[in-house]
């Protein structure tokens, strides 16, 4: 566990350990939940499909393609749930493969039109 105060910046770093220097890391989705094993019922999206959902989220420079750095402000779920669990999905791609997920950025899915 990592203990922080509400609205305190929480800095994270992910690093891919691999002997292949041509791999790149991309943060696709980060979701917070008050329950450690349930990231579907009561959740808060920080990042979803590469799209920023929390205004306090920011990325930081990384000297390596296989390392990502980002931050967001710590928060608490309603009803005094004192713990927040974070689950992030990262994607590993070939460096400079511009057709890979790492280079697509934010993906917004278009809504379908309902039938009358």
* CATH number for the domain harbouring residue 86: 2.60.40.4100
Q: What angle do CA 56, 61, 64 make, to 5 degrees?
A: 135
Within-domain flag for 111: no
* 39 pLDDT above the threshold of 80: yes
Q: Which long-range contacts (CB under 8 A, 24 or more apart) does 38-45 make?
A: 39/85, 39/87, 42/77, 44/75, 44/77
Asked if residue 62 is part of any domain, the answer here is yes
Instruction: Yes or no: say if 70 and 57 are a contact pair by the CB < 8 Å rule.
Output: yes
Question: Would 77 be classed as within a structural domain?
Answer: yes
The tens digit of pLDDT for each residue in 45-96 reads 999 999 999 999 999 999 999 999 999 998 877 667 778 899 999 999 999 9
Domain count, the chain: 1
Domain that includes residue 18, residue range: 8-96
pTM of the model: 0.83
Whether 110 is covered by a domain: the verdict is no
Strands (E), the chain: 9-15, 23-33, 44-48, 51-52, 58-60, 67-73, 85-94
């Amino acid at each position: 566990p990592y203990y922080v105060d509400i609205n305190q910046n929480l800095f994270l770093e992910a690093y891919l350990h691999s002997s292949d220097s041509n791999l790149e890391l991309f943060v696709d989705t980060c979701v917070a939940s008050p329950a450690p094993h349930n990231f579907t019922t009561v959740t808060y999206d920080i990042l979803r499909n590469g799209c920023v959902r929390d205004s306090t989220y920011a990325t930081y420079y990384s000297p390596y393609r296989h390392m990502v750095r980002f931050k967001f402000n710590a928060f608490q779920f309603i009803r005094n749930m004192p713990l927040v669990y974070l689950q992030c999905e990262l994607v590993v791609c070939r460096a400079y493969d511009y057709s890979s997920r790492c280079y697509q950025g934010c993906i917004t899915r278009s809504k379908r039109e309902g039938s009358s």
